[in-house]
Structure formats: C-alpha cells, structure tokens
Amino acid sequence: MTDQSIQSVLNENRVFAPPAPSEVGTDRWLISSLDHYNELYTKSIEQPEQFWGEIAEEFHWFKKWDSVLEWNAPDAKWFSGGQTNVCYNCVDKQVEDGFGDQPAIVWEGEPVDDSGNPVDQRRLTYKELQTEVSKLANVLKSHGIGKGDIVTIYMGMVPELAIAMLACARIGAPHSVIFGGFSAQAIADRVTDASSKMIITCDGSWRRGKVVPLKDNVDEAIKLMEDSGSQPVEHVLCFGRCHNDIKWGALDRCWHESMDNASDDCPCEPMESEDMLFLLYTSGSTGKPKGIVHTTAGYMLHTAMTSKYTFNLIPDQNQVFWCTADCGWITGHSYIVYGILPNRVPTLMFEGGPDYPTASRFWQIVDRHQVTQFYTAPTAIRAFMKWGDEHPESCDLSSLQVLGTVGEPINPEAWMWYRDKIGRGVCPIVDTYWQTETGGHVITPLPGATPTKPGSCTLPMLGIDAAVTDELGNEAKENEGGLMAIRKPWPSMLRGVYGDRQRFIDTYWSTVSKDGKPYYAAGDGARRDEMGNFWIMGRTDDVINVSGHRLGTMEVESALVAHESVVEAAVVGMPHEIKGTGIAAFVTPAPGFEGNDELMQSLREHVAKDIGAIAKPDMIRFTAALPKTRSGKIMRRLLRSIAAGDTEITQDITTLEDLSVVANLAQKDE
Ligand code: WT7
C-alpha cells in the first residue's frame, strides 16, 4: 500500500460529528440532530402524503390538489388536480410577500481588469427578475411559443440563462438546456429529438479568457439539420454577451431589440402539477442521449425542500448560496435556479472557469460576495489541491457555513483537504448523491444532523426509500456490495424518457421485488456500512463519469467509428488523478492508416467536434484487433485493466498492439 492509500483507509474510518451552529457562524441548524432527522425521515416514508402535503402548503397554488400521490408503477402522479407555476414560486411569490427588493441573483462575469477586479457584476432583485422574466416571456409568446412548445437554450452562464429558463416556466413552455460545451452535432441531435421550434443563445461566452462561439455553433447545428432534411427551428433569439462577431440569418432575432419592445406584464400560466417543466438530455448506455422528463409540482417541492435542508438555507440571514455547476446540467437546474429561489436566499452565478485569471478566482468570489454555502464537484477540489494551498489561503473564507460536493465519489484525501483548507476544519461537508433522473438529492448528509465519514454520501434524504439490493430486489447485507435502488416513488423522480416509453421502463424499472413491486434502479453499485451509511461504488452500466459529467462509452465509440480512419473502437473508463475517471479508447485503424501521434490528435479533435471537448479521449491506443470473447463480445473488463495499467502487454508491435493475444490469456475470466 502506498502512503496515500493507507491514509485513505484511515480517513474513511473517521467520523465527524456535526458542529454547533455557532462554530460555523449560523444561528441554527434547521434539522439539528440525528434524532430529529430520524423522526422526519420516518414520517416522510410512513406517511408520505402528509409529509409532502405539509410542504406543499408553503407554496402558491392556483388550485389546490385533489390527491398527493397516485402510484401506478412506474408512473407517479404527484399533486393531481392541483395547478401551480414554478416561476411564480421562484419569483413572483417573493415580490407578493414584500421581498421584491431583496437580491435573487448575484452574478459575476469572467473578464477582469488590470488590477484583477471583475469587469462585470450584477445583482438582480426579485422585482427586477420578475420584470426581465415577464418581458422575455412576452417575447417568446410573440414568436408563437406557448404551453407545451419545447424551447432549446444554449447559453453561457449569464443571468439571462436563468431568465430564459424561468420565462419558459412562466408560460408553460418546457425548456431543454444544452451545456455550452457541447458541439453543433450534439445540439442538432437534441433539437431534432425535441422538435424544438426555438433556440435561445448568446453571441458567445467567456471561458478562460477566450470566447466560446455559441451562436456560430447554433448556425452550424441548423445547417446540419437542414442537410439531414428535418429542421424544426423557426426562431433563434440571440443575447449579446461579448461583442463576438456573428452572422445574422433569416431565423435570427435580437434579444435586446425584442426586449426593448416587450411589455413587462405577463401573468404566470397555471400549470397542471404533472405538466412537463423541462427536458434534459443525459447519456445512457446506448449511443444516443436520452431526454429526461421532469414535471412541475413534484420537482419544485423536492428541489426546494432538499435545498433548504441539505444546505440549511434561511432567509434574512445574509446567506449567499453558490453552486459552481453550469445550468446545462441538472445540478444547475435544481441548485442554481429552481430549488434555491423559492428559499429566498440569493443564488450566485459565475460565468467562467475556476483558474482564470488565476487559481484563486473561486476563493476571491467567495470572499467578495461573502458566500455562505459553496457547492462544487470533487474534480474541482482535486484540481485546487494540486494548484496549491496559497490560493485559498490568500482569501477570507470565514463566511462559509456549509460545503457541498456532487457528481462523483469524493476520495477521502480530497474530502479532508476541502474540510481543512476551505472549511477551516469546521464546516460540515455534504456529499450529495443523486442523478439527472432523480431531480434532486437522494442520499446526503444534513449539515447539523448527520455524522459524516469522508467518501460516504451517508443517509437517505427525507422522502427517499433507498436501499442496496441484488438483481431480485433483496436487500444486501451490511457492507455487501449491490445495486442502488429506490423502493418508493418520490416527487422529483423522472416521469419518462422523451419519446421513448420502452427505454424508460427497461432502463429504470426492470427490478421487481419478490412481492411484485418494481424498484427504481439507479445504475450505480453501492454498499451500506455498519452505521447505515451509503458508499457509492460506481456505475454498473456503460456510463462513465468524467469530471462529474456523465458520458456513455457508446457515444464516444460511435463518434470514433464515424471517422474514416477507424474500423473499430472500444471505450472504457480509466483512473485519472483529477477527473476521477478518464476516457481510454482502443482503436483499430483502417487499412492505409497508421496509428501514430498525428492520427491520435485528429481523432481527439474529431470527438470534440462530434460531441464536445469533455468527451475527448485522454488516451488512445491503436491495436490490430480488439480482444473479444469467442462469441464476439468486446472484453471491456480486460480493456479496463489494461487502461489502468494492471495488465502488461508484452506483444507490442511498435505502435500497433495486438490485443487479441491478451484476449486469449484472459478468455477464461470474462
Ligand atoms: C451519476 C449521475 C447529480 C448531479 C450531477 C451528476 C454519480 C453523482 C455522486 C456522489 C458518488 C455520484 C453517480 C450517478 N454521482 N453524485 N455524491 N457520489 N457518485 O448527475 O450526470 O445524472 O450523473 O453521477 O454515478 O449515477 P448525472
């Protein structure tokens, strides 16, 4: 064992009790002890209708619900008969309640001046947000967008991105946000699948001092759709962020001109509880990303409730909540916009990267805005560790109360560093486990209640009946590995895969317990320890988690084989110091192509163009043949161990390896 892995085992066994509120500078913990949590948890599982009904009472409804839950597996209807609007509860309610002048969104753009101060900063109050959202909602209507029309949003992290999401919610038009790092092809695929009539974009977005040409990518996507014979987009609305030179075409509309002429009077559309709020595409084990469907009332309640308790959000206490994710991912949907705004604590949005212009940027933001809750990915924490302690040490981080992580397992060293260097050795760390499909947190510590262990996401969230089971739904024994399952419906669960009912059933609902009840299968391996804590052990399907972003190995494979030089490709995850999991590709070149550095480079660029930079393989190995079983299946487990460096290959023919030789040795184990 290396020193580091010994340290890791030692750290895993340490238990940290929640601090007293005064130790972190808050006046109370909303859930203040393990007993308190247990009491609420028991109620949430045994009397879900009462538990959720009481939470729902705190929200605005145009019409009260008839029933809290109708469960006809795998279809859940929460708050049937009720009518509400998510935008109303995020924005208008605060204005109505007399808090219109309080900050709703605090924003910082990426560029800095010569003394390192940000050039662009904005604060939007609830009232200002209401005005902007209402105007944009009217602009959307004027372009023929109404209830049920899916609007695609492809923007950088400017407040207008949140405004666009809320404007859609206001008029009942579901949105589909596409992460700004995705390519034209990825946009085209998603827009086509959703038959989206409208795209909202920006001229560009700042990322590490460079402009990401968002509008150009949209133009290229439209061209791709036109070439393929199905192009549903009628309008492209473009917000000018960075004076990037763009071409104006027949479909294009200027955000600023349209907004200047728009009225700020646009009442919220009453929506049925189960109307679609948004679609969000995520990777699965096939080559094609799936559109995860989330609906109105249940999603709103679960994200607001989890935001409140996981992060201890309390209004009127000068809290500032900062989640560093991009709104293009579920984390940004739930914990930048929809879950935070109803809690009346300002949400901070930042446009740029963590190390621009220096590796102190994030900590300067915490200092400048006196951030109280900070929520980021383990990948970022590992990068900060590498960049050096002098960066956090140069800033005042004493405002921080709660630290969160999300997206991938956190290694105990990174957890300890986060607690010591960022959290002054006192801030509780909430390692939140959840998924695009779950909508909000499903396993997480509560900062004032749950004893934490580095590397464990600890206990189920209120309302979540989580278990580790075998394929037949039998609960695993203590410390025995199994599958992560959820046995009862919860309000923010996905309601479907857009346009693919069968995929919804097959992917998530094929586990049925002995008593005939279908369980939700998350696709992760897990175990529970002697304290009942959950430990996530990684995906059980062909999905890999790169820097906290989910990617299907098949997606990367299809991108690779689409290149003329590739006959066959297999993609697996490999351990990566910063990213957690890196991407390893094994490629068989076509006759006439040589597997050299140049080809490697052009394949990496090709994948970036086809999917996005996040999908670029970290390692490409050329092989004359891929190792296969006698029945012709690629031996992925063997490839994973080769990629991890565990299996030595002796038959190296200069650049072209013959992995089929290793396959013969490994045949027995697969
Ligand atoms: C997958 C979901 C949840 C929002 C961001 C990612 C992994 C997520 C944790 C965690 C260990 C985690 C799982 C999950 N994951 N959070 N705290 N510990 N693993 O959402 O893109 O839908 O990915 O991320 O493998 O299934 P996503």
Ligand 1 centroid–CA 407 distance in Å is 4
432 Cβ inside 6 Å of ligand 1: yes
Bridge partners, 252 (sequence order): 236
Q: What is the mean pLDDT of residues 367-382?
A: 98
- In terms of Cβ atoms closer than 10 Å to its own Cβ (0-12, 13-18, 19+), residue 229 is exposed
Cis peptide before 74 (omega within 30 of 0): yes
Is the Cβ–Cβ distance between 342 and 89 less than 8 Å? yes
Residue nearest to atom 5 of ligand 1 (CA): 407
HSE-up of residue 56 (Cα within 13 Å, Cβ side): 28
- pLDDT tens digits, one per residue of 56-114: 999 999 999 999 999 999 999 999 999 999 999 999 999 999 999 999 999 999 999 99
Give me 357's structure tokens: 């212009």
Question: In one letter, which amino acid is 644?
Answer: A
- pLDDT tens digits, one per residue of 631-667: 888 888 889 989 998 765 544 444 566 677 666 655 5
Task: Count other C-beta atoms under 10 Å from residue 53's C-beta.
Answer: 15
Q: How many residues does the chain have?
A: 670
**pTM of the predicted model as reported, rounded to 2 decimal places:** 0.95
Pocket test for ligand 1, best of 408, 418, 534 (most atoms within 8 A of CB): 408
> Residue 389 — pLDDT band, cuts 50, 70, 90?
very high
> Residue 11 — pLDDT band, cuts 50, 70, 90?
confident
Give me 141's structure tokens: 């209507």
Q: What is the DSSP letter of 56?
A: H
Share of the chain above pLDDT 70, in %: 96
Q: How far apart are CA 555 and CA 541, in angstroms?
A: 13
Task: Set out the domains of the chain in order of their start, with CATH numbers.
Answer: 11-431 (3.40.50.12780), 470-539 (2.30.38.10), 543-665 (3.30.300.30)
**Which residues, in sequence order, are CB contacts of 228 under 8 Å at separation 6+?**
188, 192
431 Cβ inside 6 Å of ligand 1: yes
Q: Is 176 helix (H, G, I), strand (E, B) or coil?
A: strand
Q: How far apart are CA 382 and CA 421, in angstroms?
A: 12
- In terms of Cβ atoms closer than 10 Å to its own Cβ (0-12, 13-18, 19+), residue 385 is middle
Ligand 1 centroid–CA 333 distance in Å is 15
What secondary structure, in 3-state letters, does 371-409 show? Answer: CCEEEECHHHHHHHHHHCCHHHHCCCCCCCCEEEEECCC
pLDDT at 143 over 90: yes
Ligand 1 centroid–CA 540 distance in Å is 13
Give me 533's structure tokens: 């804590």
- pLDDT tens digits, one per residue of 295-336: 999 999 999 999 999 999 999 999 999 999 999 999 999 999
Q: How far apart are CA 490 and CA 487, in angstroms?
A: 9
Question: In one letter, which amino acid is 152?
Answer: T
Q: How far apart are CA 276 and CA 315, in angstroms?
A: 29
Q: How far apart are CA 380 and CA 371, in angstroms?
A: 17
Helices 214-228, 184-194: crossing angle, 10 deg rounding: 60
524 Cβ inside 6 Å of ligand 1: yes
For residue 331, which atom of ligand 1 is closest to its CA?
4
Report residue 28 CA to chain centroid gap. 29
433 Cβ inside 6 Å of ligand 1: yes
Q: How far apart are CA 584 and CA 623, in angstroms?
A: 13
331 Cβ inside 6 Å of ligand 1: yes
Residue with tokens 């309610």: 93
